Amino acid sequence: MSTRLFGTDGIRGRVNEFPITAEVALRVGKAVARVLRSSGPNRNRVLLGKDTRISGYMLETAMTSGLVSMGMDVFMVGPMPTPGVAHLTKSMGAAAGIMITASHNPYEDNGIKIFGPDGYKLSDELEAIVERHILGEEPEGAPLPPRQIGKAHRIEDARGRYIEFAKHTADNISLHGLKVVVDCGHGAAYFIAPLIFKELGAEVVTAGISPDGTNINDGCGALHPENAGELVRRHGADLGISFDGDADRVIFTDSNGQVVSGDRILALSAIAMKEQGRLKHDTLVCTTMSNLGLHEAMRKQGIKVETTAVGDRHVIEAMRKGGYTFGGENSGHLIFSEHATTGDGILSALQVLRMMREKNATLATLASIMQEYPNQLANIPVTDKPPIENLPKLTKLMKQATKEFGADGRHLIRYSGTEKKIRVLVEHREIESARLWVSKFAAAIREEIG
């Protein structure tokens, strides 16, 4: 079911341009109240969090107004990782949770993610219903009388609740003797993440913990893990941990300051969980973006791989449907479904640290379990997004590449769900072949789309 506002990860766009305006945020609040109000004891309760973008104040205020006007009580938690909002929504029995964030995008963008009472992102069907209300395609009904409007509160202990939950997922393992670099990207984890690692006993070197409303993701965090790598080398740390703006994903660097790919983290985590009997059905769920080397490594370990479309929501849907306990994306989304309903960068970092401790091994040693096929990835700006099958030159090249590659490589071409870009990925045993085909695909795309 296609929608016009919701993309692969909620509603997202440039601030003060449709749909990221105060007016739309007001209507989002009203729509959530109409669609997600339940008959339970906390049917009027909504959790509302945000990252550190300056536009968060505007959207938070407008959305709160829409919610309370429809009789909902709003519990604002301020800057909070997206998975923290998801967790608190479920643990507090709220009717819905809303996170104001554009994740890894620059501060000029913002977005809205909505969670149901179970802490999971809304289904496509529910998103479509919410969207119809936002766009005025459903009747609004009569305004509530003054005595029935809601109230807005700030939860002072929201951070503490999430901190204790996160530590508990790793059995409060001692990190004494470990030195870690934590780069929060001036985002939602800027206060919580360093505190968690310190409370567990680690020596923490911090970066990206001074948000000013405009520096989120700016040359730091998960988009630039090389910064943490440099600090790892400078301070002799055991690893680096870099979060994106809303801390639902994480990128690691090893003790040599080298970035460890998300696929290697998926591999080492799946193997450790299988050894512990925690990997249900001996299956890992990943997306089509994961490297062929991951599939090869999993076959050798007797682990099945289920592949989904790109986007952590698709991974989570497959995990729920199949009853699987672990999955993720090579971009850094890791889902440990025993503990969380969404990708959680902090929780994932704690799980990896626990694996290092239990095996008494460095991250580089654990990550050496797989070898990646060389790849080339190009993100090409486009003016429009016509169906790829309607681009004859590009589709002809794709068929030719598939035939030539055989089992030695693959290609994946798709539009970004959040930006006006088309992503071209080519993997091949020979890096020169990967580079050659990316350039061929890019030339065809520029010729046919512009």
Task: Report the binding-site residues for Mg(2+).
Answer: 103, 244, 246, 248
d(CA 352, CA 369): 14
The H-or-E segment that residue 226 falls in is helix 226-235
Based on the residue annotation, tell me whether 439 is a catalytic residue of this protein.
Answer: no
Query: What are the DSSP calls for 112-174, one per residue?
Result: EEEE-TTSSBPPHHHHHHHHHHHTT-S---PPPPGGG---EEE-TTHHHHHHHHHHHHTTT--
Rg over CA atoms, the chain: 22
**Which residues, 6+ apart, have CB-to-CB distance to 439 below 8 Å?**
none
The amino acid at residue 402 is T
Joined tokens for residue 155: 């939860």
d(CA 81, CA 84): 5
d(CA 236, CA 256): 9
d(CA 24, CA 34): 15
159 phi, psi to nearest 5 deg = -60, -45
Cβ 428 vs Cβ 408: under 8 Å: yes
282 phi, psi to nearest 5 deg = 45, 45
d(CA 318, CA 329): 13
Residue 176, burial from CB neighbour count under 10 angstroms (0-12, 13-18, 19+):
exposed
Cβ 68 vs Cβ 37: under 8 Å: no
Active site residues: 103
